[in-house]
Amino acid sequence: MKNVEHFGDLTPRMNEFREKVLEKKPYICAERALLVTETYKEHQNQPAVMKRALMLKNILEKMSIYIEDETLIVGNQAASNKDAPIFPEYTLEFVINELDLFEKRDGDVFYITEKTKEDLRSIAPFWENNNLRSRGDALLPDEVKDIMSTGLLGMEGKLNSGDAHLAVDYQTVLQIGLKGYEERVLKLKSELDLCKPENIDKYVFYKAVLIVIEAVKTYAHRFSVLAKELADKAEGTRKDELLEISRICDKVPYEPAETFYEAIQSTWFIQLILQIESNGHSLSYGRFDQYVYPFLQHDLDKGIITENQAVELLTNLWIKTLTINKVRSQAHTFSSAGSPMYQNVTIGGQTSDKKCAVNKLSYLVLRSVAQTRLPQPNLTVRYYNGMPQEFLDEAVEVMKLGTGMPAFNNDEIIIPSFIDLGVKEEDAYNYSAIGCVETAVPGKWGYRCTGMSYLNFPRILLCVMNDGIDLTTGKRFVEGSGHFKDMKSFEELQAAWDKAIKELTRVSVIVENAVDLAGEREIPDILCSALTQDCIGRG
């Protein structure tokens, strides 16, 4: 049996970085909220897609940026690590209601300054009845609202935060850069016949994509400038590192990546900015060992990098991944404690042409996750009968460390299931995990692969046992089938239960539809759409 030393230790600086991030108190950060409000006020006449593009542009141009002393990878979500930005365009109601309670929670505690409270209260009037939550609520039929108000059925956290649950097309980003996307959009935009009414919306979307690509380029360039400024004051090895950071940030993600280091930084910029753009969660890395591996192999072959240097960059990436944070309402924390972000990394499995997908990077990812031992990112290993025994053994050794990772997804169950649902075979073989347990094809779909509304099964069972009347509110939400004390068999209870679940599932579908419509209309995510096939092609 292997021991812990088998995986090696973090380098001293990554160990120091890890400890700093873990010990950092999470604060509520108002910076994003103020910039979003500024954009929405200034551009109230703009279509939603343009407003969202201009919003991201304003944030990326003006938000605070910094480079930690220990890091080789740069990019931050908020004013300091693990701070939670506020997304008022989704909801501000629970934030304002809980401003004085964040530090008093039993779990998921956030700290907040009086200045931040003042800033958030100052923008609250603008967002009242003017965000995703309020407009989603307005789409719900009265009888559905009545049921939801009792807690029998809920969607807490969904209209508050959007969804995500996807992995974008990282492979294409690394291969052609955002510059390649820009060139395609410019061509398609120039070819539009604007005499056709449906092309007006396409024109606006393309314009929005171009704004966002330029904004991402600007954000990366800001780090290039900052790294150069820090390098001018630094000495020795750190000076060289900062100059290399400056060079890389001046290149990716706008230009294609050429080295492993560039690929890691480019991937991180996209992973990060998608979570600045949207308040969803479960934004996942997809099949990381497949799209990054060519860059690793290239660098190893050329002697540009060693395996130990590659592992240090990977551990750096996972520590940076942990810096992303999100504040949920206190009610939501009761079911999602620990501020989980569900950013999933998938390794192993099979290629689209049914060959073994395990490669050197698959092993290095296992080693780096073993060294960092963090709750983020989630790690998933795709298993199939034929996986190399050595890789399976290594994955089990990581599992023995007690972090609960990796999870295993069974190719022999999931791939046929996708094919049965009409997914192309080559896509089904390319699936990845996109959250905690969900699966999808990276870059092909996402958002709402998972449930949005939740039924309170214990409460429903009590309703069923009480002739359809909810014991908490005294209201009837399902047709009665008698009292439990009068039932003669378990089958009678089961039949009543099945009937009630069918009735309330119909209501939950109504909620799903309303939430979908609200999300599409109010909070389109422009960068995310551009990197998902084939929103650009469809305009």
pLDDT digits (tens), the chain, 539 positions: 345 578 999 999 999 999 999 999 999 999 999 999 999 999 999 999 999 999 999 999 999 999 999 999 999 999 999 999 999 999 999 999 999 999 999 889 999 999 999 999 999 999 999 999 999 889 999 888 888 888 888 776 677 887 788 999 999 999 999 999 999 999 999 999 999 999 999 999 999 999 999 999 999 999 999 999 999 999 999 999 999 999 999 999 999 999 999 999 999 999 999 999 999 889 999 999 999 999 999 999 999 999 999 999 999 999 999 999 999 888 777 777 777 899 999 999 999 999 999 999 999 999 999 999 999 999 999 999 999 999 999 999 999 999 999 999 999 999 999 999 999 999 999 999 998 889 999 999 866 545 567 888 999 999 999 999 998 889 898 888 899 999 999 999 999 999 999 999 999 888 888 888 898 899 999 999 999 999 999 99
For residues 129 and 107, give the distance between their C-alpha atoms in angstroms, rounded to a whole number. 29
Cα-based distances in Å from 511 to 385, 447, 461? 41, 16, 21
333-337 CB contacts, 8 Å cutoff, 24+ apart? 333/105, 333/107, 333/108, 335/156, 336/157, 337/107, 337/108
What pLDDT score was predicted for residue 451? 59
pTM comes to 0.95
Query: What does 146-208 look like in DSSP terms, one character per residue?
Result: HHHHTTSEE-TTTTTT--EEE---HHHHHHHHHHHHHHHHHHHHHT--TTSTHHHHHHHHHHH
Hunting for tokens 């699966």 — which residue is that? 439
For residues 528 and 273, give the distance between their C-alpha atoms in angstroms, rounded to a whole number. 9
What pLDDT score was predicted for residue 149? 82
Hunting for tokens 């003042």 — which residue is that? 118
Provide the residue type at 344 as one letter. Answer: N
Q: Kindly report the three-state secondary structure assignment for every residue of 454-477.
A: EECHHHHHHHHHECCECCCCCCEC
Report whether 394 contacts 366 (CB < 8 A).
Answer: yes
What pLDDT score was predicted for residue 177? 98
Enumerate the β-bridge partners of residue 469: 476
Straight-line distance from the first to the last Cα atom of the chain, in angstroms, rounded to the nearest whole number = 55
For residues 28 and 82, give the distance between their C-alpha atoms in angstroms, rounded to a whole number. 9
Q: Which residues, in sequence order, are CB contacts of 232 under 8 Å at separation 6+?
A: none
For residues 214 and 249, give the distance between their C-alpha atoms in angstroms, rounded to a whole number. 14
What's the burial of 207, exposed, middle or buried (CB within 10 Å: 0-12/13-18/19+)? middle
261-267-271 Cα angle (round to 5): 145
What pLDDT score was predicted for residue 221? 98
Q: Which residues, in sequence order, are CB contacts of 189 under 8 Å at separation 6+?
A: 203, 206, 207, 210
Structure tokens at 342: 């569900």
Eight-state DSSP code of residue 370: H
Cβ-count burial 41-55 (b if 16+ within 10 Å, e if not)? eebeebbbbbbbbbb
For residues 369 and 70, give the distance between their C-alpha atoms in angstroms, rounded to a whole number. 18
User: Closest Cα to residue 293, out of 246, 233, 362?
Assistant: 362
What pLDDT score was predicted for residue 478? 87
Report whether 278 contacts 525 (CB < 8 A).
Answer: yes
What pLDDT score was predicted for residue 1? 34
Query: What does DSSP say about strands 454-455 and 153-154: parallel, antiparallel, or unpaired?
Result: antiparallel
Eight-state DSSP code of residue 421: T
Eight-state DSSP code of residue 406: -
CA atoms within 13 A on the CB side of 142: 0
Residue 222 CB neighbours (<10 A): 17
